[in-house]
Chains A and B, each alone.
Chain A
Amino acid sequence: SQTIHQWPATLVQPVGSPLSLECTVEGTSNPNLYWYRQAAGRGLQLLFYSVGIGQISSEVPQNLSASRPQDRQFILSSKKLLLSDSGFYLCAWSRENQPQHFGDGTRLSIL
């Protein structure tokens, strides 16, 4: 069966510090991968998606970037965090037109 792992579960970072959130998928190959952000009291916003290694599409301009160095690894990064980057970050995967499956999320607080 397929599983998706995200870490860390919780992260507290100072403004201006770098960020690296990691997501890995097991039990499938060549998945579509996604990063979402859920701000407090709001819905989910798609940040990035990837259909293959090294292929990243950005949905909204922002302070974040994504990379896919391996088939089942998706990384969300920032060089300098802003207060507005606080939120709940969710990674997801899917195959073809099948439903997306989500990780347990990372709660990021910026101080």
Chain B
Amino acid sequence: GNSVTQMEGPVTLSEEAFLTINCTYTATGYPSLFWYVQYPGEGLQLLLKATKADDKGSNKGFEATYRKETTSFHLEKGSVQVSDSAVYFCALSDRNTGFQKLVFGTGTRLLVSP
């Protein structure tokens, strides 16, 4: 079945450091890939997405590239801020199901200190 694997957290960084959160997936068909962010006490917000191989999703300085050859969708940001502290979820949606059912990774907590 479909699955998403994320790096274990927490990831602890100083402000302005470079961020990478790894995500790899297993899927049949041609999935769409997503990163969601959850700030403390809130629901999930869509951060970025990519729908086909080599697509790059970007938003708020975050980027992720859909790599079919390595089945990866790593999240990156060049300079993190304290306000980026949150839990980040990688997810996939397999369009072959005919219905959008998201499969989530376990989430990676990011802590950014001043």
Decide: B43 and A43 in contact? CB cutoff 8 A: no
* A105 in contact with B43 (CB, 8 Å): yes
Q: Tally of A-B residue pairs with Cβ under 8 A? A: 47
Q: Is the interface of A mostly helix, strand, loop or mixed?
A: strand
B97-114 contact mask (Cβ, 8 Å, vs A): 1 or 0: 001111011110000000
- The count of residues in chain B whose C-beta lies closer than 8 Å to any C-beta of chain A is 21
B100 touches A102 (CB 8 A): no
Q: Is A97 close to B, CB under 8 A?
A: yes
Q: Which of B34, B44, B95, B101 has the largest number of chain A CB atoms within 10 A?
A: B44
Annotate B72-104 by CB proximity to A: 1 below 8 A, 0 otherwise: 000000000000000001000101000111101
> Is B14 located at the chain interface by the 8 A CB criterion?
no
Q: Which residues of B contact A (CB under 8 A)?
A: 32, 34, 36, 41-46, 49, 89, 93, 95, 99-102, 104-107
